[in-house]
Structure 1
Amino acid sequence: MSAVVGPGGLDAAAVTRLTASATAAGVQLYLLPQDPDALAAVISALRSTAEAQGTPALGMVRHRLSWNGPVEQDAIQTLAENSLSFTAVPDADGTLTAPIASLLSNAVPVSFGSGTRAPDPWSAIRASLEHADPDQRISARSGFTAATKAGLRALPMSIGAGFTMAGRIAPSSPATFGIWAADALSVQAPDGRVAAWSTDTRAGTPLLPVLEEGTAAPECLATLVDGTEVYRSPAWT
């Protein structure tokens, strides 16, 4: 089970009570703070709940936090210690300000969300490559994981258990995938001087669409869910 807590429900006392009761009941919360004060209330609630019920209890429910803004290092540590996942939703202009590299380096799972807008995973991946803070840039491959498999892993255990083999093309895996057209493929690291993975074809590193500024976004040609085609572009015959 999961519950969504958004605007109007994140004052400090309320979120502390809700976090404690949801954790005790084994219900995952999807926390949506709208400003730094609300984020501080979430972090405080997590610490209070961990002190009262223990970090293993929080680890069992894996609460989820959605935020696109600065996060202090001690707050990141709190998220890591209490098994939270983090969903970054770029601003309306595509800007990504969450410290995604710091979160990942502290073992906080990161996924990308779209908010109320139509999903656009490639823009989110591009934003992670072009983060305004060079220290927070991640590779295209890490961004691709955040836009795909990481979202499934952030689901409540009762739901996510059904997706353990999803997000991969392999024998016995569900035939759920998208087919995309891209102008060019490459291995892209956040720092052009250093490759995060070997670009030698013998290394078998999967190539991803080039997402540099000025390149066209990949176009979805078809989508299959459990082997059934649910979308086909009119341009693809």
Structure 2
Amino acid sequence: MHSVTEPYANALHADNGVTAWLGSDEAGEQMVAATASGLIERRDLDGGLITPAFVDGFSTTPLVSHDARNALSSTVPTPRSVYYAPLDMNASDADGIYIAANQLDRLEEVISGIKPPTQMLQESTEPQQLEHILSVLEQQPNATLMRSRHRVLINHDISDKQIYRLVESHISVTLLPDIIDGLPVIYAPVAALLAAGVHVATGTGEWTGSIWTVLTALIEHRDAAQRISTRAAFNTVSRDGVRVWPSRIAQENMAAGQIAVGSPADFNVWRAQELGVQAPDVKAAHWSTDKRAGTALLPVLSSTDSAPTLELRIRDGQAL
């Protein structure tokens, strides 16, 4: 079970759509016998791995049946989406405003017409566009930037100075992979962003394959210095994917994207070839199956192996 708060847990109890308990199989059986009344549905994982349902940082495809995602950011208002209205669309029912890369010349006009905590999701396809975004936003008072917590969609090189300015302006980054030869590729310096304290989420964009494949692109970044651990990569499509949402929505869902007592009971059950904990030597991608360090297990990911298989979805505490 991938729970940061209870890394040794191998059983959970969900009640009324909420995670009510985490622990061992034996303790779970005793607790249910002592406290539960009525019909209790039991599921044996049989070696499967439970993780929080994915939070997609940005996608052009809505949720579908048997989807491993439970929420996404989108420019289309769909169920379980954080909706960013494109420019020239009615934004009255939107959660934020989306500015495409070819519309960044209107950024000053847009920002002059909104008030915090309205959040902008801005697309940047090259360093010069990010420079323009930073230059415009830096003209805003710090208190305004803190309340709005704007986002940028990005997958290009970012200088150390630009990373510093992202932090100073309270701007989060959502990584959006390029699709090269049928596979997602990440170019942005994700390790440097995380090390500087930038909030980073990962989106799928037009990718419709497994999100684990996108995470593998982060782990096997083409720049060895920018490779990150599987745990850090997974965070970008779970709890960190929630943190980059507009302030009100993020606060209302602050327990989402994780498995902890009190969190929403939105899980996926996976079948993976191997589970492990990545060792500190990230560049070498060493793995250990020893949980004594108290780190929750995740699938061992590699571009040479098949991605984990989704066996069961649990939404609002109900097995689907």
For the aligned pair, the TM-score class normalised by the smaller chain equals: 0.7 to 0.9
Partner of 1:31: 122
| Counterpart mapping for 1:174-185 below 5 A | 174-185=264-275
Bigger CA radius of gyration: 2
Contact preservation (8 Å) 1:199, 1:205: no
Structure with the higher helix share, 1 or 2? 1
Q: How many residues align?
A: 221
Partners of 1:193 and 1:168 in 2: CA distance: 24
1:39 aligns to what SS in structure 2? helix
Partner of 2:13: none
Contact preservation (8 Å) 1:46, 1:78: no
Runs (5+) with no aligned partner, structure 2: 1-94
Of 105, 108, 129, 1:16 maps to 108
Runs of 4 or more off by more than 4 Å in structure 1?
A: none
Partners of 1:30 and 1:145 in 2: CA distance: 20
Q: Deviations over 1:111-135 (max 9, x none)?
A: 1101133263211211111111111
Partner of 1:46: 137
**Match of 2:107, as an amino acid?**
V
Percentage of pairs with the same residue:
33
| Counterpart mapping for 1:26-105 below 5 A | 26-49=117-140, 54-93=141-180, 94-105=184-195
Q: Deviations over 1:171-190 (max 9, x none)?
A: 22211111111000112252
Partners of 1:119 and 1:216 in 2: CA distance: 12
With normalisation by structure 1, the TM-score equals: 0.86
Structure with the higher strand share, 1 or 2? 2
Select between 112-121 and 155-164 the one with higher mean Cα deviation. Answer: 112-121
Cα distance change of structure 1 residues 193 and 113 upon mapping to structure 2, 3 Å threshold = closer
Partners of 2:112 and 2:260 in 1: CA distance: 40
1:20 deviates by 4.3
**Match of 1:3, as an amino acid?**
I
CA RMSD in angstroms, aligned pairs only:
2.0
Partner of 1:233: none
Runs (5+) with no aligned partner, structure 1: 231-237
Cα distance change of structure 1 residues 227 and 74 upon mapping to structure 2, 3 Å threshold = same
1:188 correspondence with 2:278: yes
Partners of 1:205 and 1:113 in 2: CA distance: 25
Contact preservation (8 Å) 2:122, 2:152: yes
**Match of 1:215, as an amino acid?**
D
1:194 deviates by 7.1
Of 131, 134, 137, 2:224 maps to 134
Q: Deviations over 1:145-199 (max 9, x none)?
A: 012111111111221222111122232221111111100011225222878xx86
Select between 149-158 and 1-10 the one with higher mean Cα deviation. Answer: 1-10
1:224 correspondence with 2:314: yes
Partners of 2:167 and 2:102 in 1: CA distance: 26
